[in-house]
Chain A
Amino acid sequence: MKKIFSLLLIIAMTLGLLAGCGSGGTSSDSTSVTKSTGSTEETGGSDTVGYINTESQWPIVNEPTTLKVTLLQSTADSVGDPMNRWFWQWITEKSGIHFEFNLIDESAREEKVNLMFASDSLTDVMMMLSITNDEVAKYAGKEQMLMPLNDLIDQYAPNIASWFEQYPEVKAASTYVDGNIYTLPIDSSLEYGQFYYTLRGWINQEWLDVLNLEVPQTLDEFYDTMVAFRDNDPNGNNLQDEIPISFEPGGLNRYIYSSMGVMLGGGLMSLNDQSYRPAILNGEAMIPANNPEVYLNYLTFMNKLYSEGLMDPDTYTLTTTQVQAKAADNTIGVHFSAGPHALMSAGYENWISLAPLTSEWNDIKQWPTSVNITPGAFVISADCKYPEAAIRLADWLFTPEAAMYCYYGPPQDSEDLLDGYEGWWFDGDQGPVFNLPEPYQDNLSYMINEVALLASQHPGIAAPSWGIQEIMDFSPAEGSPGASQHWRNSMNSQNIKDYYTEVFPNVYYDVETNDRLKELEVPIADYIKNMEARFITGSEPLSNFDNYMDQLKTLHIDEMEQIYKDAYASYQEALK
């Protein structure tokens, strides 16, 4: 047995080594040789920058050039090849660049992007993949796999350069600690853009009317209103089937935390996924879970809501259809989303936006600003042979024209239309309208499938109709089909806009700090997600809170908080 075993081991190792030598050689070869990232034998290389047209915006290149671009394919998008849409057809024609697309499905984004980095097989350009700060630190800072854009921007991208000058915080958010700019962001900080990206609570106006109540303004009023919803049968069917708070309770904790003065970080996450992320309280960076007072108050209130039947018991596992079913049955009092039309196809007028609340611990209404700058929308591989062409493309995407084309496509008489496309025009009653060919039934489908990328699918300025005054001013006539789509424009700003307060900004960490942060974050996040759910649902009694806090200390939560504090301090220094 021993003999056979050692024989086996020797064979296995030999084979392994042999194979290893073979492919090991190949892989080290491939790292030293600049791999074909799509920039093939076409004429022009990065040494002869004459291929770039520097005289005018279009065309971008004077010689045939190929760029391989990776795009994110959203799950709601089943068009496939981007060349099937007007947008990329037009760009190809105008710029002279030939594009080869590599589409990554949204549901596989994490895995695919990691694999691309790990196997050193990036394409020339990667767009809309939300390259995180962590990935920038690891793959750009440490491994130098992304091309620094600073010089390229100065030389070839006037739009981006002036945008950065005008809005230094955008530049700051895109600059890594080593001073290099590796990614370009989506900038949704314009007035108009802010409306779109804010998640907030919506309360059932019908029920308020029936019960003669006002929209709650404080945490206590909120609680009382919910109790009234539960007990006083506002949907009038003599059954106690009302669920005061449902869908996407991840929005609920924003209200509770903000009522205590804690500004949570950006983006929507599930209910128990936020207490370990950096937040701002009274101008200081902190981790909500590391502040026993704040955290205990939060948990107590949430537990109260849950145990008294004010919160949907399926909170953690709701699916869209279930919520839609409940909404259709008129059993929901409050829900959280960017708008009620996420839940229902009619009846949005019944909902009114909930303003930020105040509480016994804080009497200033505050609301976390949406994260306006989303970096990581456009990166260029360090192996790219035609970075000038790539940056010129990105540069155009930072123009208002691009914003419009990305969303609507060209207007109907524009010379940018190609054969087979009609363009949109502005109807006084309905707003932007298309000539819908078969088989399309509505503007949205036509837009998404034929004309442009899905909205927000481009770096640069993310305000779809920015610069088109008509559209910005437009409000459709009562009862017209467009009315239901546009009602929220005014609603959006109401109740929220005035209370925007600073949140923890988008910061970069150097390689070591980044690694340490990742190491600390995983066990802490897992633990908090688990325990918070238990406290809220009551499986864990609140009397164990102190143990919980002690346990977090052993997981080095103080160290993690200090990292955030330091980062915030340097960020503020840099802004001065």
Chain B
Amino acid sequence: MTAWEDSRRPRIVKVDGDFPAERLRKIWEGGPGLAGWISSVDHKEIGKRYIVTAFVFLILGGVEAMVMRWQLGGPDQRLLSPEQYDQLFTIHGVTMIFLYSSPILTGFSNFLWPLLFGSRDMAFPRLNALSYWIYLASGLFIYAGFVTGNGANDGWFNYVPYASKAYDPGINIDVYALGLILLGISTTVGSANFVVTFLRTRAPGMSINRVPILTWGTLSASVSNLLAVPSVSLAFFLLWLDRQFGTQFFTASQGQPLVWQHLFWMFGHPWVYAIVLPAMGMVSDALPTFCRRPLVGYTPVALATVATMALGMGVWVHHMFATGLPSLALSFFAGASLIITIPSAVAVFAWTATIWTGRPVIRTAFLFFASMIVLFVIGGVSGVMTASTPVDWQLTQTYFLVAHIHYVLIGINVFPVVGAIYYWFPKMTGRLLNEPLGYWNFWTMFIGFNLGFFPMHIVGMMGMPRRIYTYGAQMGWGPMNLVISLGALLFAIGVMLLVINIAISLKRGAIAGPNPWSAPTLEWSIPSPPPPYNFAVIPTIESRHPLWEDWLNESPARSRLTEGLLLDRGRETLATSPLDAEPNLVLEMPADSFAPFVLTCGLTGAFIAALFHIWWVVGVGLLIVIAALVDWFWPRRVHADMTASQQGAADG
């Protein structure tokens, strides 16, 4: 039970022509030019920037992978020196895991959440902008190290003592350490924003059992990030102290190298789930659209999403089976790792049942989503094999693991993401992607991926260790590696077809209209691309599928999409109660602001200066951060743009 807490009671109005759209557009539209671009806090802008930036990192990580595949395509190749190879596999992992797979999902969630919730922005729009700018800055920071030859070179999980100053004396590891601490700030503020947005800004009537599964996925990932990211940020901070100030947290003589692995994987394993659960959510939401029926088992799937994340916090030791821990502990973590299969199986059966009890319409997006089920199962069963401790003693650190992680990350992240691009591109741009080219895109990626990555299981069982820059012909791994390299090339061509499709369709794609897929959720009730204010009035929701109610006819009640609360005294949206989504406050949303960008510049400057021990510059950077925060929190009349008479009229 939540009562209306605001002194003001907004009117309920019907949308009528330009009313209230015209007025709302003036209120919500961003400023012109570069200044408007930098100061924008519009979640749709920020979401698209996240997606584009993450996609650029995907391409960079792919180019790095292709160079490595050239080196490994045959025995005794000499394209790369060992050090170059080490920096390449490290930056490839860092790019794909930190700079692509999580940010791309954050981008989709950023763009979609307020549209799915019938709201006008994220709960904290400036925090949202800050999250993006710091992400961009940390990516540039890490890449600046790489392009100057000072990239991290100890793999993405960066084990000590090799990562300590005694064995790795350059600034390589310091760049990585500070870069990840910086990125951790972005992830943390972004996650906090998602949690509050989920709990407080859903449209009236969108009770917690009516939200799209994507939002369950991103919520679970965000809660997990809030718990897990401190672990890795702390680990990298302690490592930086060890390296720069002679502390002994991770040294063998006075510290404990294994502590690094615990801290890293207490973060690292939940992170793996955080970068797949929102993507699984996309499939749970979009696959049913093409099957022309609701998802089978909404409640089990939503619960499974949360359960996966909760269990995912307790399996980190399965990355450390060979470190000499007692076998009782190993049995426990093997059990925990196997149990996590159960919620994953719930999702697989839900999707398969949705196909069998629906009538699928085959589109490119559907192909990506449906094929993901199979790739997900392959990545899942190879995960079961590695969860079995004695088997893992053989499989770990071989190409079997490389195969597993790529089936998980490409199968459960990239394939749904590309499907999501085909599905939501029309909402973002107003134009459809080209379908025939999409089929070519799908089949090239699907065949290339399996040709490139399935043989890695086999060459791994033939004993090929990961992270070796070359191997001798007598090892017998050559032919399989050539197949892998050719498959990877085909996969890369597939990704290029997507880029080409996007480039063509941005200008010439068919006009989409508001709802080209006849989909059930709120984002499809508004124009494509959505207006700056998203919804002219705040809709009221009566079911999980507001746009399918006439077809499903599950209750006499109908969601009201063109009649609702009028919130037009400035940038406003509605706050509702966490569980039942009963309206209880009008939220005054901030104007565009330079503070997030300025704060990021100051913070990044401080990190760069810390890398080189220029402490006075660190001080200046932190002063800029403080100045930006003062501006951020300075009390101001949010609705100062309204005249007194408008205010009075609205109050009346």
Do A and B form a real pair? no
Residues of A within 8 A of B (CB): none
